[in-house]
Structure 1
Amino acid sequence: MKPSTLEEAVALTQKFTSKPSNEELLKLYGLYKQATEGDNEGERPGGFDFKAAAKYNSWLAYKGKSKSEAAELYVELVGQLAEKYV
Protein backbone atom coordinates (compact mmCIF):
# COMPACT_ATOMS: atom_id res chain seq x y z
CA MET A 1 0.00 0.00 0.00
CA LYS A 2 2.33 2.70 -1.27
CA PRO A 3 0.92 6.21 -1.67
CA SER A 4 1.85 8.09 -4.84
CA THR A 5 0.75 11.64 -3.96
CA LEU A 6 0.92 13.89 -0.92
CA GLU A 7 -2.89 13.67 -0.55
CA GLU A 8 -2.82 9.85 -0.64
CA ALA A 9 -0.01 9.83 1.93
CA VAL A 10 -1.90 12.14 4.28
CA ALA A 11 -5.00 9.93 3.95
CA LEU A 12 -2.92 6.83 4.64
CA THR A 13 -1.59 8.27 7.91
CA GLN A 14 -5.22 8.38 9.11
CA LYS A 15 -5.36 4.59 8.72
CA PHE A 16 -2.37 3.86 10.97
CA THR A 17 -3.52 1.43 13.65
CA SER A 18 -0.88 2.52 16.14
CA LYS A 19 0.91 5.79 16.74
CA PRO A 20 4.37 6.28 15.21
CA SER A 21 7.24 7.27 17.50
CA ASN A 22 7.74 10.93 18.39
CA GLU A 23 10.78 11.03 16.10
CA GLU A 24 8.75 9.65 13.20
CA LEU A 25 5.91 12.07 13.90
CA LEU A 26 8.32 15.01 13.91
CA LYS A 27 9.78 13.93 10.56
CA LEU A 28 6.27 13.69 9.12
CA TYR A 29 5.42 17.13 10.49
CA GLY A 30 8.57 18.79 9.16
CA LEU A 31 8.25 17.26 5.71
CA TYR A 32 4.54 18.06 5.49
CA LYS A 33 5.07 21.69 6.45
CA GLN A 34 7.95 22.04 3.98
CA ALA A 35 5.87 20.39 1.23
CA THR A 36 2.83 22.59 1.83
CA GLU A 37 4.31 25.91 2.97
CA GLY A 38 7.98 25.95 1.96
CA ASP A 39 10.79 27.23 4.15
CA ASN A 40 10.07 27.95 7.81
CA GLU A 41 10.29 31.72 8.15
CA GLY A 42 8.55 31.98 11.52
CA GLU A 43 9.96 33.00 14.86
CA ARG A 44 11.45 30.26 16.99
CA PRO A 45 9.13 29.49 19.93
CA GLY A 46 10.61 30.63 23.20
CA GLY A 47 10.35 29.69 26.81
CA PHE A 48 9.44 26.20 27.81
CA ASP A 49 7.20 25.26 24.89
CA PHE A 50 9.29 22.19 24.07
CA LYS A 51 6.69 20.63 21.77
CA ALA A 52 6.46 23.76 19.62
CA ALA A 53 10.26 24.07 19.57
CA ALA A 54 10.65 20.44 18.46
CA LYS A 55 8.13 20.96 15.65
CA TYR A 56 9.85 24.20 14.63
CA ASN A 57 13.25 22.48 14.52
CA SER A 58 11.88 19.54 12.55
CA TRP A 59 10.46 21.86 9.89
CA LEU A 60 13.64 23.95 9.87
CA ALA A 61 15.70 20.81 9.15
CA TYR A 62 14.18 20.71 5.65
CA LYS A 63 14.90 24.35 4.80
CA GLY A 64 16.00 24.80 1.20
CA LYS A 65 14.17 21.72 -0.10
CA SER A 66 11.58 22.48 -2.78
CA LYS A 67 7.95 21.77 -1.98
CA SER A 68 7.90 18.95 -4.53
CA GLU A 69 11.09 17.39 -3.12
CA ALA A 70 9.68 17.54 0.42
CA ALA A 71 6.40 16.04 -0.82
CA GLU A 72 8.29 13.13 -2.42
CA LEU A 73 10.19 12.51 0.84
CA TYR A 74 6.93 12.68 2.82
CA VAL A 75 5.24 10.16 0.50
CA GLU A 76 8.28 7.87 0.76
CA LEU A 77 8.34 8.10 4.57
CA VAL A 78 4.61 7.39 4.86
CA GLY A 79 5.07 4.35 2.63
CA GLN A 80 7.79 3.04 4.97
CA LEU A 81 5.76 3.77 8.10
CA ALA A 82 2.64 2.15 6.63
CA GLU A 83 4.49 -1.16 6.59
CA LYS A 84 4.77 -0.91 10.39
CA TYR A 85 1.56 0.87 11.38
CA VAL A 86 -1.24 -0.17 8.98
Structure 2
Amino acid sequence: MSDINALFAQAHEEVQQLPERPGNLTLLRLYALYKQATKGDVQGDKPGFTDIVGKYKYEAWSALKGTEQDSAKQQYIELVESLKSGAAS
Protein backbone atom coordinates (compact mmCIF):
# COMPACT_ATOMS: atom_id res chain seq x y z
CA MET A 1 0.00 0.00 0.00
CA SER A 2 1.42 3.34 -0.98
CA ASP A 3 1.74 6.22 1.46
CA ILE A 4 -1.12 8.17 -0.15
CA ASN A 5 -3.44 5.18 0.21
CA ALA A 6 -2.49 4.69 3.86
CA LEU A 7 -2.97 8.39 4.61
CA PHE A 8 -6.29 8.37 2.75
CA ALA A 9 -7.55 5.37 4.73
CA GLN A 10 -6.44 7.03 7.97
CA ALA A 11 -8.18 10.30 7.01
CA HIS A 12 -11.37 8.38 6.20
CA GLU A 13 -11.35 6.85 9.68
CA GLU A 14 -10.53 10.19 11.34
CA VAL A 15 -13.32 12.10 9.58
CA GLN A 16 -15.85 9.76 11.18
CA GLN A 17 -14.51 10.65 14.64
CA LEU A 18 -14.59 14.45 14.36
CA PRO A 19 -15.96 16.10 17.51
CA GLU A 20 -18.31 18.31 15.44
CA ARG A 21 -20.27 17.45 12.33
CA PRO A 22 -19.03 19.56 9.39
CA GLY A 23 -21.45 21.83 7.55
CA ASN A 24 -23.42 20.55 4.57
CA LEU A 25 -21.14 22.11 1.95
CA THR A 26 -18.09 20.53 3.60
CA LEU A 27 -19.88 17.19 3.79
CA LEU A 28 -20.63 17.44 0.07
CA ARG A 29 -16.97 18.22 -0.65
CA LEU A 30 -15.85 15.24 1.47
CA TYR A 31 -18.34 12.98 -0.31
CA ALA A 32 -17.29 14.14 -3.77
CA LEU A 33 -13.57 13.81 -3.05
CA TYR A 34 -14.07 10.35 -1.53
CA LYS A 35 -16.08 9.13 -4.52
CA GLN A 36 -13.59 10.62 -7.01
CA ALA A 37 -10.71 9.05 -5.09
CA THR A 38 -12.28 5.60 -4.88
CA LYS A 39 -14.43 5.32 -8.03
CA GLY A 40 -13.06 7.89 -10.47
CA ASP A 41 -15.31 10.09 -12.59
CA VAL A 42 -19.02 10.26 -11.80
CA GLN A 43 -21.09 7.34 -13.04
CA GLY A 44 -24.77 6.80 -13.72
CA ASP A 45 -27.60 9.17 -14.43
CA LYS A 46 -28.19 12.37 -12.52
CA PRO A 47 -31.01 11.92 -9.98
CA GLY A 48 -34.26 13.70 -10.68
CA PHE A 49 -35.62 16.77 -8.93
CA THR A 50 -37.43 14.65 -6.33
CA ASP A 51 -34.09 13.38 -4.97
CA ILE A 52 -32.57 16.66 -3.82
CA VAL A 53 -29.77 15.14 -1.74
CA GLY A 54 -28.84 12.69 -4.50
CA LYS A 55 -28.84 15.54 -7.01
CA TYR A 56 -26.45 17.65 -4.92
CA LYS A 57 -24.16 14.67 -4.32
CA TYR A 58 -24.10 13.87 -8.01
CA GLU A 59 -23.35 17.50 -8.94
CA ALA A 60 -20.56 17.77 -6.35
CA TRP A 61 -18.95 14.56 -7.62
CA SER A 62 -19.46 15.58 -11.26
CA ALA A 63 -17.64 18.87 -10.61
CA LEU A 64 -14.47 16.83 -9.97
CA LYS A 65 -14.64 15.06 -13.34
CA GLY A 66 -11.14 14.58 -14.73
CA THR A 67 -9.42 14.89 -11.33
CA GLU A 68 -6.84 12.15 -10.87
CA GLN A 69 -7.69 9.71 -8.08
CA ASP A 70 -4.43 10.38 -6.22
CA SER A 71 -5.09 14.12 -6.43
CA ALA A 72 -8.59 13.61 -4.99
CA LYS A 73 -7.09 11.51 -2.19
CA GLN A 74 -4.59 14.26 -1.38
CA GLN A 75 -7.32 16.92 -1.35
CA TYR A 76 -9.46 14.70 0.90
CA ILE A 77 -6.55 14.23 3.32
CA GLU A 78 -5.90 17.98 3.41
CA LEU A 79 -9.57 18.77 4.02
CA VAL A 80 -9.76 16.26 6.89
CA GLU A 81 -6.60 17.72 8.41
CA SER A 82 -8.08 21.23 8.22
CA LEU A 83 -11.27 19.97 9.88
CA LYS A 84 -9.26 18.35 12.65
CA SER A 85 -7.34 21.56 13.27
CA GLY A 86 -10.53 23.64 13.18
CA ALA A 87 -9.48 25.63 10.10
CA ALA A 88 -12.52 24.50 8.09
CA SER A 89 -16.11 23.82 9.06
- Structure 2 counterpart of 1:25: 27
Q: Which amino acid aligns with 1:64?
A: G
| Number of equivalenced pairs | 82
SS in 1 for 2:65: coil
Which 4+ runs in 1 deviate beyond 3 A? none
State the distance in 2 between where 1:37 and 1:45 align: 18
Distance 2:75 2:18 in 1: 18
**Aligned counterpart, 2:67:** 65
SS of residue paired to 2:18: coil
Amino acid at match of 2:44: G
| Runs of 5+ unmatched residues, structure 1 | none
Structure 2 SS opposite 1:5: helix
Which blocks of at least 5 consecutive residues in structure 2 are unaligned? 1-5
1:11 maps to 13
User: Greater RCO between the two (CA within 8 Å, min separation 6)?
Assistant: 1
Quote how far apart the aligned CAs of 1:22 are. Answer: 0.0
